């Protein structure tokens, strides 16, 4: 009987060894998937406002651009082409110039006077990056600068109710312009 017991113990050990073998050979599969994405977001908006008392350009927004596609497009669309203040009778306007300085220079917009509408280079700015960019996939910065002291009395395309002023001669009020930024895959 004693031999049987020992034998049984050995057998039990062998079974334990077999059970442990698959665990030691276990493999760990780690998977990750990257979904296509393109995004633009406002980060660290400096003030959201620019002062007409400032004689030069002012940084008004810090944007973060991101896209992991083989090609990416940034479209910047100023809505009015001027700062606008409506008092119910007149549409008062203050001209400005804008500039976008991106870390990825393909997205730069040189200093530009903007106009109403969506004419490329005047009321709309389209910037392409043809290839995949790891810095862009990781997120890249761009700064929007505005200068509200750019006198331009060209009223082409403006509504009849518009009144265009140099910044230092405009009636008091809050003047607003809206910029739309769109990042997409191309
Ligand atoms: Ca303008
Ligand atoms: Ca740049
Ligand atoms: Ca526009």
* Tens of pLDDT, residues 142-157: 999 988 888 888 888 8
* pLDDT of 23 over the 70 cut: no
Query: What's the gap in Å between 153 CA and the centre of ligand 1?
Result: 9
Distances (CA, A) of 179 to 25, 94, 119, 125, 170: 58, 15, 15, 11, 22
Tell me which of 2.40.50, 1.10.10, 2.60.40, 3.30.70 is the CATH number of domain 38-185: 2.60.40
* pLDDT of 70 over the 90 cut: yes
* pLDDT of 19 over the 70 cut: no
> Looking at the CA of 141, which ligand is closest?
2
- pLDDT at residue 11, as a whole number: 31
- pLDDT at residue 152, as a whole number: 82
Burial grade of 3 (CB within 10 A; 0-12, 13-18, 19 or more): exposed
> Looking at the CA of 175, which ligand is closest?
1
* pLDDT of 97 over the 80 cut: yes
Query: What's the gap in Å between 103 CA and the centre of ligand 3?
Result: 24
Q: Which residue has the higher pLDDT, 78 or 26?
A: 78
Distance CA 146, CA 130 (A): 27
Query: What's the gap in Å between 8 CA and the centre of ligand 3?
Result: 86
Distance CA 73, CA 58 (A): 25
What residues does 95 pair with on adjacent strands?
82
Mean pLDDT in residue range 100-109: 98
- pLDDT at residue 54, as a whole number: 62
Query: What's the gap in Å between 104 CA and the centre of ligand 2?
Result: 6
Query: What's the gap in Å between 15 CA and the centre of ligand 2?
Result: 68
């Amino acid at each position: 009987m004693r031999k049987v017991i020992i034998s049984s113990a050995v057998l039990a050990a062998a079974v334990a060894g077999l059970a442990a073998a698959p665990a030691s050979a276990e493999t760990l599969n780690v998977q990750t998937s990257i979904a296509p994405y393109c995004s633009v977001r406002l980060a660290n908006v400096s003030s959201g406002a620019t002062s007409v008392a400032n004689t030069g350009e002012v940084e008004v927004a810090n944007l973060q651009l991101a896209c992991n596609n083989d090609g990416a497009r940034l479209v910047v669309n100023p809505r009015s082409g001027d700062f606008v203040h409506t008092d119910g009778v007149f549409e008062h306007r203050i001209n400005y110039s804008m500039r976008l300085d991106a870390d990825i220079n393909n997205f730069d917009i040189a200093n530009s006077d903007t106009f109403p509408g969506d004419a490329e280079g005047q009321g709309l700015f389209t910037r392409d990056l043809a290839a995949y960019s790891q810095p862009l996939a990781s997120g890249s910065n761009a700064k929007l600068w505005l200068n509200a002291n750019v006198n331009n009395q060209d009223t082409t395309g403006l509504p009849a109710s518009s009144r265009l002023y140099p910044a230092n001669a405009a009636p008091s009020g809050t003047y607003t312009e809206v910029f739309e930024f769109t990042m997409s895959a191309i």
